Amino acid sequence: MGKGLELSIIAELLIYASSKLVNLALPLAILLSSIMSIGNLAENYELTAMKSAGNSLIRILRPLIVFIAVVAIGAFYFANNVWPVANLKFKSLLYSVAEQRPAFNLSPGVFYNGIEGFSIRVKHKSEDGKELEDVLIYDHRRKDTGNRTVIRARKGVMEQTEDKRFLVLSLFEGYSYDEQLESGKKKNVFPHIKTHFEKDVLRMDLSSFEFSKASEDLFANSYDMMSLSQLDVAVDSIQQRIVRSEEDLVNYMQQSLIFHRDSLPFDAAPGFKSDYFYNKLTLVQQRRAISVARDIARKSKSYIERTLEDVSNKDKFIARHEIEWHRKFFFAFACIVLFFIGAPLGAIIRKGGLGLPSVFAIILFVVYYMITITGEKMAKTGALEPWIGMWISTIILLPLGFFLTWKAANDSAIMDKEAYSKLWNSLKNSIRNRKKLREDSATLP
């Protein structure tokens, strides 16, 4: 807001940002559409007619299964090729927008510091913004000089050049105050210069207000902007750095410990003990040896802790890369799983439209999304392996898909109120009969 961005820049930013919503919109759309379409067929008894003609549910769904397979392949291509590019362009464009300076806006009675090297205040400004009254300008173009140059004019006219790069400020009937600095003197001979002018023209550079896109190379190494092959290369590079850090730790410890550099083995003499050399030292030498050993131990501990922390951070960084690697496959497979949940569920509930199917779709999608987010968070913190964290929602929902498909293929009445009513009545009758049998057995002699 207030940065003077063109509508094309805003539209481009929104288009790139919308790519992040595809991983939410596409699975939900597949789940909802499958429930609605198959539910509509079942509600109008078209599904029953096809089954009575000898077609199984899987055969009826075969064209949709082929279509969903094509959608899943397209989803994988999108996640591997389009998504990283869109994320890269979105982040670089968002960074450019954030760094963009606010548009030039000179308000009456307020000092404006948006133009580098100047601080401007006007008392009144015309409606078109060109004519100014009581103009006060502090010139800071000379670095580290403070408010030494001040310009004040009764009125002024403000215009921009045709290329919008420079602001031309014409000042009328004013004074210029300039405080001079004379180096090497305790007291300035000419400490102040006051100049009266009928007209003065200031030319101010506005190039800093022009929108410029940041280089995409600044964000190209981020894990969410890589394809599968790039992620594999990045993970391999990080693992090599971990190996080098571990090798450096071993080399450091071998060089820092004295007995690794000693030419005499510990068991060179019979009856050798660990304090053999220490007991031969004087008291002063023993204290110095203890002090040196303490310093070596502290430095070694500090180096080990830094190395372990660095390795731990690299492991977490590898986990982020692996999460993005699995996300591309998980995104495509989730479309298939949610279809095999939505299609049989629509056949079971036998309702189309946006009523009951929407309720079931939203509930199932919320469960799916909560499990997915929880698994991803746990994978990022290291509580779960990346592949488990990313696939946990699929692992939980896949059996549900098989169960619903099996029930729908066998015309199960799990959504039929009458079936549950009959089951409840049978349970009540069974309980009543058992109670009567116990009462009759109690009355027998």
The band of 212, judged by pLDDT with boundaries at 50, 70 and 90, is low
The proportion of the chain whose per-residue pLDDT surpasses 90, expressed as a percent, equals 7
Rounded Cα distance, 327 and 330, in Å: 5
Q: Considering the chain, what is the average pLDDT of its residues? A: 79
Give backbone dihedrals phi and psi of 212, rounded to 5 degrees, phi first.
-135, 135
The H or E element containing residue 238 is helix 228-256
pLDDT at 292: 83
Rounded Cα distance, 91 and 89, in Å: 6
| pTM metric for this prediction | 0.65
Report DSSP state, residue 224.
G
Token pair for residue 413? 């009445």
pLDDT digits (tens, 9 = 90+) for 57-115: 888 888 999 999 999 999 999 989 888 888 888 888 877 776 665 556 677 888 877 77
Residue count (the chain): 445
Cite the DSSP H helix spans in 78-153: 83-99
Classified as helix, coil or strand, 191 is coil
Angle at CA of residue 84, ends 81 and 88, nearest 5°: 140
For the chain, how far is it from start to end, CA to CA, in angstroms?
Answer: 93
Least confident range of 181-190, 303-312, 348-357, 377-386: 181-190
pLDDT digits (tens, 9 = 90+) for 151-185: 888 888 888 777 667 778 888 888 888 776 655 55
Of 4, 209, 179, nearest to 116 by C-alpha is 209
pLDDT digits (tens, 9 = 90+) for 223-269: 888 888 888 898 899 899 989 988 888 888 777 765 544 544 545 45
DSSP-assigned states of every residue in 128-139: TS-EEEEEEEEE
Classified as helix, coil or strand, 283 is helix
How distant is the alpha carbon of residue 280 from its chain centre? Answer: 63
